[in-house]
A and B are shown apart, each in its own frame.
Chain A
Amino acid sequence: KNQVEQSPQSLIILEGKNCTLQCNYTVSPFSNLRWYKQDTGRGPVSLTIMTFSENTKSNGRYTATLDADTKQSSLHITASQLSDSASYICVVSAIILGEYGNKLVFGAGTILRVKS
């Protein structure tokens, strides 16, 4: 069964600190992995996307890693800001043969709260 598990479920950190969010998946056949940021009351917005051959991808203070062998990914946030408070969702795309486009499998998300 295609699944995406995220940890921790929630996290509180002080402004300026770093943090790392984890994602484990069992989706197969793997196409790509995305990290989304979802602010309260908004739709998810893509932060990074990585394919099988990519190990790391950065987007400003966000750095995602991917280990396709162990099927694990992490999202590292550097020098956190109050505006980083949001839910971070790991999304793995499975190739569906014969279909036009991939199927997305969503994790439940990690709720991050940055305190001043």
Chain B
Amino acid sequence: GAGVSQTPSNKVTEKGKYVELRCDPISGHTALYWYRQSLGQGPEFLIYFQGTGAADDSGLPNDRFFAVRPEGSVSTLKIQRTERGDSAVYLCASRRLADNEQFFGPGTRLTVL
């Protein structure tokens, strides 16, 4: 597609459940980022992939959060034992190498009840 896509657009789950959020980056972009955005705040960095490997995962809040990008394109953010505080919009972005511009997806709104 022309832009970054994310699925699902909305996810409602119960406390303690496991969720997976998917990101399809722009074709050819080797760098991929995950951010979390709480209401009224700017995006907060979670993890950055260069190709298949996580180059920087310093933003992951705890070991319940994990992300993979096995083939260097699609990425999945996985959250185990969800807590109400995990409720937020999870944004994915891929980066254009020529000018380091990041292009954002529409986000997945996660609600943990």
Does any Cβ of A come within 8 Å of B105's Cβ? yes
CA of A102 to CA of B105, assembled, Å: 19
Please report the total number of A residues contacting B with Cβ < 8 Å: 22
Q: Is the CB of A43 within 8 A of B91?
A: yes
Assign chain B's interface to a size class.
Answer: 20 to 34
Which residues of chain B in 18-75 are interfacial with respect to chain A, using CB atoms and an 8 Å cutoff?
31, 35, 40-45, 48, 50, 55-56
Does any Cβ of B come within 8 Å of A45's Cβ? yes
Q: Known contacts A43-B107, A106-B44, A109-B42: does B101 contact A49 (CB below 8 Å)?
A: yes
Q: Is the CB of B107 within 8 A of A100?
A: no
Minimum C-beta distance from B42 to chain A (A): 3
Residue ranges of B at the interface with A (Cβ–Cβ < 8 Å):
4, 31, 35, 40-45, 48, 50, 55-56, 91, 93, 95, 99-107, 109
